[in-house]
Structure 1
């Protein structure tokens, strides 16, 4: 079970900074507005709630006044958002094998959607099927992002041989249909029964000359290991969120649970099953961060206390005394004895001299 039930890998935001800027938007403002950690772009393998990912696309679409923002973003990203899945499919034997393996492991990238390859006679359909998600009314922007990325994937695999027969979309158009045609070279069939690219099934037999079978085997083993994600990883994931959210003051159990789309009691139960609790993880994270900042930074103790989520310096000092048996000031001095000696020397030099008789 994944720590976030309805998730997408943060790699799905690959390229957001430069693409948002090209649309006169700030990626950091978008990220902050939907409640994602400010450093989420630095952790592409982390999980982000699907509903917040969908909300970010909706906000960007509205703020940029660009109805096809998501489709354009998918075309801009291309295959880069797929992470290790890209290396797997590039080293498959044929285009058909590459797509089948992508469909097999796609749940590691997005937990609430399915990719399917369907062959009907001389036609092949490359499907994207989103599932229902709480608080997500519409998937249409995510669908358009995905079909844009899928188009670039097929171009990567097939080059100029990629000549799709049709793009089927379950939704109505977001703007005039000519705008779609200018971007992808054809006008989609809207209000269709499915979301899928339709193309010549013979293309599935195309060999991939760049395929490396040994590398393919190693990547497959790595993905199989990722597929064994279990609740044992939950404490480490909560620690990661605490490190990210503590400086912003948003690291209560309720806020962490909300970020993970879990009820606080559910989160507590999961952690208890792993022999720990939210408070234990919070204390451990605060201890580790306190040691690092006291050792490596020149932050004042008041600043550090606030960064760790303490409303008063005295509360931080009492907690630190319990953890390490000394005050934060004493601990810092022990880590920097040379600095302490310089302070003593400076103090002696600054003493007023006694007049000689």
Structure 2
């Protein structure tokens, strides 16, 4: 099954963190099955399970469950590679975070962020991490949140204390490391991970704002993502599947023909990327179903049609298989 990936520059940030606290990263990375030479290329990609396995090894070797927050006063902007410059030249912190969300795939397609208003003011930067076969360890999520917060502090050239920080995982035995690193009220066992930024922090102008450089950096980010997509077949196949679904099950032969290759070549190249054609069809349908049902903009029959099901009963059976719920229950959040 295809897994989302993360760039080598992010792993280099983890390596640097371990070095800064006196741990030898090399045996840790090797124990996790990651060749240290592989991520010297900041654009080399690593599967989601490799990151989860790495954090499990780091936690075991260090004996410190809060190891993800060690050396939390160091921003390490190079961890974000080109994305860091794209954020830094934005006019405000809000604009920087919106660019971060837009171009996050430069660093990882295993993480998804959103900026959501809070009824009490300010906005939440929400984090979702897509795992593979392994559960995503809490340390991986904590490291992501503190890294992003510290880069925000760095580009703002001032301390930023979130109005609140939420974690999905239960409260650990000690929260001193969390309080020291994040500097705001902590909430554990939440529905989603996130940082709550004040309206004042979001609206504050950034000292390195530069419209000309910002335009240049955004163009570089767009070009990088385009190259990333063209280098891998899976996103192109998924895009064709989405376009063909309203006409029913997309035939593999039709997709291969659209890509100017034989079915055998299509099958082999997808296999090289760790996914089969049928898994892509089913996974694309599932993702679209979740999106359409949660948004609630289409009737259930229309959703079934858009996903290529001949009738609504087939769509209902698919939802039971995907979500263990009916389409109506998914829509209602039951």
Global fold match (TM > 0.5): yes
Q: Which residue is 2:268 aligned to?
A: 268
Q: Is the 8 A contact 1:119 1:201 kept in 2?
A: no
Q: Is the 8 A contact 2:5 2:108 kept in 1?
A: yes
Q: Which residue is 1:126 aligned to?
A: 125
1:272 CA displacement:
9.4
Structure 1 residues 202-281: aligned runs within 5 Å: 202-229=200-227, 232-233=230-231, 268-270=268-270
Aligned mate of 1:54, from 32, 49, 52: 52
Q: Is the 8 A contact 1:168 1:196 kept in 2?
A: yes
Q: Which residue is 2:64 aligned to?
A: 66
1:18 CA displacement:
4.5
Q: Is the 8 A contact 1:75 1:151 kept in 2?
A: no
Q: C-alpha offsets along residues 57-89 of structure 1, whole Å, 9 cap, x if unaligned? A: 110111011111122266545432100000001
Structure 2, gaps ≥5 residues long: 234-264, 274-334
Q: Is the 8 A contact 1:177 1:187 kept in 2?
A: no
Question: TM-score w.r.t. structure 2 length?
Answer: 0.64
Structure 1, gaps ≥5 residues long: 236-264, 274-357
Q: Is the 8 A contact 2:20 2:71 kept in 1?
A: no
1:109 CA displacement:
1.2
CA–CA distance in structure 1, aligned partners of residues 170 and 64 of structure 2: 16
Q: Is the 8 A contact 2:162 2:198 kept in 1?
A: yes
Q: Is the 8 A contact 1:74 1:147 kept in 2?
A: no
CA–CA distance in structure 1, aligned partners of residues 272 and 15 of structure 2: 38
Q: For residues 174 and 78 of structure 1, do their structure 2 counterparts lie closer, same or farther at Cα, with a shift above 3 Å needed?
A: farther
Q: Which residue is 1:108 aligned to?
A: 106
CA–CA distance in structure 2, aligned partners of residues 24 and 207 of structure 1: 37
Q: C-alpha offsets along residues 37-75 of structure 1, whole Å, 9 cap, x if unaligned? A: 230241111101121112111101110111111222665
Q: Name the larger-Rg structure.
A: 1
CA–CA distance in structure 1, aligned partners of residues 72 and 10 of structure 2: 9
Q: Is the 8 A contact 1:30 1:60 kept in 2?
A: yes
Q: Which residue is 1:188 aligned to?
A: 186
Aligned mate of 1:165, from 153, 163, 171: 163
CA–CA distance in structure 2, aligned partners of residues 77 and 106 of structure 1: 17
Q: For residues 231 and 219 of structure 1, do their structure 2 counterparts lie closer, same or farther at Cα, with a shift above 3 Å needed?
A: closer
Q: Which residue is 1:92 aligned to?
A: 90
Q: For residues 39 and 95 of structure 1, do their structure 2 counterparts lie closer, same or farther at Cα, with a shift above 3 Å needed?
A: same
1:137 partner SS: coil
Give the RMSD, CA atoms, in angstroms.
2.7
Q: Is the 8 A contact 1:170 1:193 kept in 2?
A: yes
Structure 1 residues 28-39: aligned runs within 5 Å: 28-39=26-37
Count how many residue pairs are aligned between Structure 1 and Structure 2: 240
Q: Is the 8 A contact 2:52 2:140 kept in 1?
A: yes
Q: C-alpha offsets along residues 163-222 of structure 1, whole Å, 9 cap, x if unaligned? A: 321111111134412332233334521001211111312322211232121111111111
Question: TM-score w.r.t. structure 1 length?
Answer: 0.61
1:22 CA displacement:
4.7
Q: C-alpha offsets along residues 241-283 of structure 1, whole Å, 9 cap, x if unaligned? A: xxxxxxxxxxxxxxxxxxxxxxxx988334899xxxxxxxxxx
CA–CA distance in structure 1, aligned partners of residues 267 and 147 of structure 2: 34
CA–CA distance in structure 1, aligned partners of residues 44 and 272 of structure 2: 22
CA–CA distance in structure 2, aligned partners of residues 229 and 167 of structure 1: 35
CA–CA distance in structure 2, aligned partners of residues 87 and 231 of structure 1: 21
Q: C-alpha offsets along residues 72-130 of structure 1, whole Å, 9 cap, x if unaligned? A: 26654543210000000111111111110101111221112211111224221111112
